[in-house]
Chains A and B, each alone.
Chain A
Amino acid sequence: MNPVLETRGITKNFGAVEASRGISLDLRPGEIHALIGPNGAGKSTLIQQIAGKLRPDAGSVHLLGEDVTALGVAERARAGLGRTFQVSALAMEDTVLQNAVLGALGARGGRVPLFRGALHDADLRATAEAALDRVDLLDSADMQTAALSHGQRRQLEVAVALTLKPRAFVMDEPMAGLGAEGSARLTRFLDGLRDEAPILMVEHDMDAVFALADRISVLVYGQLIATGTRDEIRANPDVRAAYLGEDA
């Protein structure tokens, strides 16, 4: 099966620091692929290069078989890449519905009419409300986003990404800051999402990683030291030494 998303030999240096050292990984249809590694391993730098925020010094990024290395964030989003952030990036002064409508606008291909009321556009509203409904936020549609709990903001981030009907998701620590209950709820939701679009996920919550991931890649000092199934990663001595600790 052809990968939906793929990096080939991505290299990125910041001065003397080698943040990405020839990283090649792929995301296959229907899977959740978790990227783990200790702090400072270069996970966020890699995610930023995949999303288009940072340009790699060498190597390439491919989405649905197309080389998207030269494209910016917005163009990759239009090409089918959905993204959520480590720290929720939402319009906090706006309502929940307005944030979802923003996503629905993007799904239209970037046309932004100047005059018709955004919230009076039936199509935009329907797309936005359907996405909010899926993450159980429809009842909070008229709430100001700043008033949402941390977990609800996480859900809204996913809803905004859903409005775009992406072909692949890139999620940067979706479980960060969630309590046990919130984490379990989001885990269930992402579990069901993988058939719709595969998910590449950076995550520190090992319970979530081992519950969800079909494959796991381990990044240490900018280098991919292993990629494999849960059991393979658990059994890998390099991973045990470098990340999980000898006792794991």
Chain B
Amino acid sequence: MARHKAILIAALLLALPALGAEGEEYLPFLFAAFAVTWVAFFAYAFFITRKQADLKQEIETLRAMQGEDDDA
């Protein structure tokens, strides 16, 4: 995750000189549009994968508890 963020930031920094001076006053809008999009996607992907891991563990715990009850 951190590596992806670093790649994205590096790409943006590398690209800034290539953009030229034309319309430079709009740079914050461009930066904000890309930043908001990527932060939202990384946050959503993080939320999904984290919750998947939590639920997997909970399902395994419940299975084990049911198995113990069946044995008893």
Is B one of A's binding partners? no
Q: Measuring CB to CB, which residues of chain A are less than 8 angstroms from any residue of chain B?
A: none
Q: Measuring CB to CB, which residues of chain B are less than 8 angstroms from any residue of chain A?
A: none
